Amino acid sequence: MANWTIMGTGNADLNGKRFGISLDTDKEEWTAVGPDVDLFFNSVRKGRYHIAGAPELGTELLNGATQVAFFRNLTGQTSVGDSGTGRTEKAVTINWTLDSK
């Protein structure tokens, strides 16, 4: 089992606000945590995820069929310490870093 931990920080009005996401690769599930998680996500704090294909490679967090967040350039080949951008269901643009894998 691999468990990825992603740390995100907000841009613009949420600059410096933080949240974390854990991706359980065995169950293909995600969980959002952290002191500022409410600023980035609505009531959904967990669900399923998948690696999205072209044209925009990355990881999509889902609640049923609804996209909750998208992390650009976050795939199975992403290394610890790599970073990128994304967005959450509250239309917040974020910066992310893969903290562990």
What pLDDT digit, counting tens, does each position of 58-82 carry? 999 999 999 999 999 999 889 999 9
Paired with 87 in beta bridges are 70, 93
Number of H helices, E strands in the chain: 1, 8
Quote the pTM value.
Answer: 0.88
**4, 32 in Cβ contact below 8 A?**
no
Q: Give the pLDDT score at 11.
A: 87
- Radius of gyration (C-alpha) of the chain in whole angstroms: 12
